[in-house]
Structure formats: C-alpha cells, structure tokens
Structure 1
C-alpha cells in the first residue's frame, strides 16, 4: 500500500511540473517569445532601418500593438553605410551591440551570411517558408543561402527605361519600336540629331547600369562556384553596349548622383535606366517636366529575350544575438505580409515585393506626371519576370572593376580586352 501511494505521489508531482513548464515560454504572437518571457511580460525589440522606411515601420508597429499590447518596437534611423559598418563591427564582435533586427540591402545579405553563418536567424525555419510563394522568386533567392531563407523580403527595385516623351516625339521616335539595344542606339542617334540631348546619362562613379545589364542577362558578378563572371559573354555584351553608345556620341557620364539628377532636370538626356524608385525622384526633383516622362522595358540583348532586371531592394535580417527572436520575427512577418502595411509602404515611396498587394488600387492609378499612365502597374508586371541573380561577399571587388571597364571602353578600349583585364585583376585581388 505504501509503495502504491509513493508512485501515486510521483505521478501527481510529475503532472504538476509538466503544467508549470508549459506556461509562459512559447510564442503566442502577443509579444511573448520562446526566449523572451511570457505573454504578460512587456517586450521591447529594436530595428535598424534607413530614413524612408522608418515612418512605415513605426505606423505598422502602432497597428500591430493594438493586438499585441505587450510589444514595443523601437526603430533607429541610420543610413545604409552606417548600418553596414555597425552590423559588420557587431558581427565581428560575436553579436555585441547589434539590434534584434536590421534592414539590409539585398546584395549584401548573402555575403554576411556566408561569412557569419551562425549569427543570422534562419527565418524559413521560424515559419517564413510558408510565405515565400507570396514573393517573387528572384527576391527570395537573393536572401537565401544554402537552401534556407535568412531575411524577410521587403522593398524591391524593378527596373525600367524612363524616357522623355516630348524628346522622343520631336525626334520621331516611337518607344514601342525599341525592342533591342541596337534599336535603342539607333533611336538615340535620331534623338541626338533632333534635340541635342544624349540618349543615356549614367553615374560614371558607380557600376549601377553595368550591374543592371548583367542582371538582365541573369548574371551576378560571381558564379555559384566563386568564379568571376567579368569575362563572360554577358559582360562582353554589357561593355560593348557602353562602347557603342559612346562611339555614337549618345552617352553622358556624370560624376556622382547629384550630377546625374542634374542631367535629367536640365534635359541633357532623353532616358534614364533605374529602379521604380526613380518615379518619386523625378516627381520631387524635376517637377516642371510633369507630363513629359514615360516608362518602357529594358531593350533585350541579342540571344537573350529578358527585358527585366532589379536594382536595389532590401530585407529584414534577425540576429542570433537577439533575446527576443520570436517576438521580432512575429512583428516582421506581420509587417511583410499585411496588405494594408504594404499599401502604406507604397504610399510612402517604397515598392513592395509582396505579390498580393499588386491587386491594390494604388497600382492601377494613373499618374499625371507620366502622362496619366499607370506606371506602378508596369513595374508590378516586371516583378515576376526578373531573373534571379547570385550575390556574394566579393561583389564589391567586381563592382570596382566594372567601373574601370566602363571608363576604358568609353575611352575607346576593346570590350573583350577590357573585361579580360578586369578578370585578371579580380582574380589577383582574391588570392
């Protein structure tokens, strides 16, 4: 009898312990975390983000708090360079000084995860794999490493050719007739002869356009095996396009961002190649040209039917050093997949990558600045056509060399020789 009572006591004790251990530790989507306290505890999370993103995050946090009153989201504003610098320093220090999450430019995510694989949360394992089909394939691939997703996608930069409709009309050029880069160059010659404006201006201190041309052809600067793509056919095509435009005297290199925007405002160029964010830049910086701009797809390279590319875009990473990983993940999952939040981002000048939001009326609105054309709808259509591109930790080295290739071919160098020289320099720098 005593033995039976002893075992009965053990069973009761075990049941009590199980009941105690199951309270307050699992995520409940209400500010509680699996590593940060129970649902009745107040939890604060910190996120680093750039200026244009801060108001959207703060408004989304306020909306989220209505259903999750115990969670406070603190957003710290800083520019991209400062985020990169501080994140690098924090990762090198084993996570010290890092926030719970940070908004990183997509082309830097893979490099960080490659070099610091144990310091980033696999958000796919936390539940985000359920939502990847709601984002363009190229966007998910850009924040994935070794088959896993390490960042929650946010804004994107689908590319278009912005063109001056009035200059095209004066030159007798129809944008719909421009299908290839050869067509584009021929049209540029007509525009220059008729109006005196160059066909294209670009920032000669940056590799943006070179990168877009590679991206359009489905290439980043390195292969999956770590080999440089600088001397590939796609890179030769890119360098050759620069040379052909320079030889035709329809290309204008500008020393920096401000000079590039000036070339647009002073009608020194008839087109600009950029992500959809240029819509806001034109409206704010060149208001007197309202009604004189249109958007068309990138012309295609011979043998490649792609007319789409991406420039820029960012996503949210969560750091393993965070003590509130589940809480910040829950908020960012909401932020990235809530329809109204993405509309808010759109209204704030950001181009969301969440596919369902493209059904919003915002995307079918006709913009007076662009001749009452629904340009946002154009960019939304581009999103599912953008080729996936591999980003690596060594991209900046190749981008530096791409700037040199641009300068060399514009000055008359042979494109093949220029890219081969850059290939050699990249290989030497990586030894």
Structure 2
C-alpha cells in the first residue's frame, strides 16, 4: 500500500507539473478581453469571427457591462495602477480626457503605434475627445450627432414650416403656434439629467471648463442656454420629465412636439413608438444668433487599451481593424450605432429612405452634421458642473433669474474644484 501511495503521489506530482506547463502555454492563447455595453457585444463578436479567418487562433471574450459599471471598474483599476483592468474597454467619450489627465500613461498611446495614419478619417471633434497633447489614446467608434426630432403632424396642424426655423427665437415663436393649435408643448427633456443643457452649451463650442480650468457656467454662452430654458418655461412650451421613462412617455402621448437628442433616438422611436411611424422628421438645432452653429454631439464612445495588458499589441491590431473597416462600421450601423469612421458615410445604408420618417433619408442628415460639430473640452471635473447644470435648469424653470442662478453655480463649482 505504501508503494501504491508513493506511485500515486508521483503521478499526481507529474500531472501538476504538466498542468503548470500547460497553463503557461495557455496564457499565451487566452482570449482577448474587452469590456463593452450591450448593443456592442454582438457586433464585436461578429467582428472577431471575421477577423479570426485571417488570424487563426484569435479569440475574443466580450464582457457585457453598463456604461456606469465600466466607468466605475475602470476608475478602480486605474487607481490600482492598472490592476484588474481588461485588455481593452469601451468608454464614453466625455470621460476619457479626464482619465488621461488624472492617470497619465495608463492607456496605450495609439499615435506612437502608428494610428495617426487614420486620424483624418474621423471627425475633428471626435479625435480631439480622445487625444491629449496631440496624441490619440482611444480608437474613435460610435458618435451622437444631434438633431431636433419633431412631430410633422403637429407642425402641419399648426401651419409651422420646420425649414423656416433658423434661430431659437424662431423656435419659440413656432412653439407658441403649436401650443395654441394642438395643446402640445414644444419641448420635453429629462429634468434629472443635464443632457439638453450640455448639448446647447456644446453647440456654442464649450464644455463645462475652458483650457485654463475655469468653469464656463458664468459665460455668455451659458447665459444663452439658461435664458432659453427660462423663456420656454415662461411661454408654457417646456415639459420637465423626471427620468427616461417619463420623457419617452411625453413623446408617446404627444405632449411634446420636439425632442433634442442624438441620432440614436431613431432606434428608440422605431422600437418604442411604432404607432407614430410617418409622423416624425428631423431638423438642425436652431442657432442662438443668425448664422451661428446649429450642430452638436451627444454621447459616443471609443476603445482604450490598458498598458498593463500582455496582449496590448493584439488588442491594437484587432481594434484598428474593427474601427477602420468599412464592413465593420456598416455592421455597427445595422446594430443601431452611428459610426464616426468617415468613409462609412458613402455606404448605401446612409442614403436609403427610412419608412418611419416618411421615407426621408435621415441617416444622410446626421452624416452631414458630423463635419460641422464643434470640438469641446472634457475634463475630470465635468461631473460636478453637470450636477450644477441640473440645478440651474430647476431654478430658472421655477422663476429664478438665469444670471443669478448661473453665478451661484459657478461659485459652487470653483469652491468644489479648488
């Protein structure tokens, strides 16, 4: 029995040694891991299948997470000097610059690896959002060009021609006619979020901080935004909906004649308001002054690679393929995403009529917007300013003077970020 026990012991030792060797070899064959949000998962998986045809042995593990979870886990990983991070992750653009400021050298410098070759094939504002000191640190992916989605039937009932709305003053006058003729307000927005405020600020080329780190809520551009909220409310043209579901309900119940948001609303309307097919159109943002900017971006995301990844080179090659492939961007578009890779706009998918929008080629409208969108600066402190913007929205729609509200917000931000 002792001999048998010794033999078993030797065999177990041999198995463990072989397993250890196998683990070392397997580490080189492990799948590339990317964190991404739900709609991106099947697109990445399909891309991996196609990529593997020319790269035998390539494997991809996509971990599905919500944007907030990715943001939280990436922050924890960066604070731990890269520990626990995946090989790559899809991050919302407005948070990338803040990471680069607070955690230098944690993401792979794509310019140093040669990605500048593709720089001109993406919109300038998108490149700026993923760059620091002139170098790119993320692969630009989807975007959120903004438009004013409007109910064509309500406009027609009120005798309003959308093509004649050029400024926000025009928009307010049109809203008064629509309100009188249909009972609908002109605009509804999520009052628990700063999305519309941010869009209207970025339309004027501003983020929440300037290059010197000064808060912009005290600027004339912020005054324009707060005053617009105030005027819309005074004229009974604004609905503050508390949360996403309430906002969608305001659209489905015809309480609001317009919605200001990114191109992704196309999919939301088609899926959640199918009975309103043929009743929606899209027009540019009105300008704050005649001839002023009528374009902005909302959302969008890009891929970063962790410098601690043992498969950083593999991640670079795959993501370069994924973000600069015409075929992959068409795949993303069919999955409901708006690509930022400029050559994709030549795809027939962009010129096809969309039945839901009365046969209009709405994708062409948004593609044309991409080259007009101003660049804005994102910072690590934006979250504080966005919270203050929500407070400003609430104050001015409850009658507070816009200038006083903005001054209070600017002071609180300065005290917070000092």
Contact map agreement 1:217 1:304 (CA 8 A) in 2: no
Structure 2 residue 126 is matched with structure 1 residue 145: no
Cα distance in structure 2, aligned partners of 1:197 and 1:253: 13
User: Counterparts of 1:200-279 in structure 2 under 5 Å?
Assistant: 200-279=187-266
Q: Deviations over 1:185-216 (max 9, x none)?
A: 00001000000000000000000000000010
Distance of 1:93 and 1:216 partners within structure 2: 37
TM-score by length of 1: 0.90
Displaced runs of 4 or more, over 3 A: none
CA–CA separation in structure 1 for the residues paired with 2:371 and 2:299: 16
- Return the TM-score normalized by structure 2: 0.93
Q: Secondary structure at the match of 2:281?
A: strand
Number of residue pairs matched by the alignment: 393
Of 375, 384, 397, the residue aligned with 1:388 is 375
Alignment of 1:86-165 (within 5 A): 86-165=73-152
Q: Could you tell me which of 51, 57, 74 is aligned with 1:70?
A: 57
The residue aligned with 1:296 is 283
Aligned pairs for 1:179-218 (under 5 A) are: 179-218=166-205
1:204-256 deviation per Cα after TM superposition (whole angstroms, max 9, x unaligned): 00000000000100000000111100100100000000001001100000000
Q: Which residue of 1 aligns with 2:354?
A: 367
Measured in 1, the distance between the counterparts of 2:264 and 2:415 equals: 36
What secondary structure is seen at the aligned counterpart in 2 of 1:161? strand
The whole-number CA distance in structure 1 between the counterparts of 2:274 and 2:193 is 26
How far 1:43 sits from its partner (Å)? 5.2
State the Cα RMSD in Å: 1.2
* Native 8 Å contact 1:197 1:268 kept in 2: yes
User: Would the aligned equivalents of 1:203 and 1:255 in 2 still touch at CA under 8 Å?
Assistant: yes
For residue 338 of structure 2, what is the aligned residue in structure 1? 351
CA distance in 1, matches of 2:291, 2:230: 19
Range with bigger deviation, 341-350 or 409-418: 409-418
Taking the aligned partners of 1:44 and 1:255, their CA distance within structure 2 comes to 42
Give structure 2 stretches of 5+ with no counterpart: 1-23
Deviation of 1:96 after TM superposition, in Å, equals 1.1
Q: Paired residue for 2:409?
A: 422
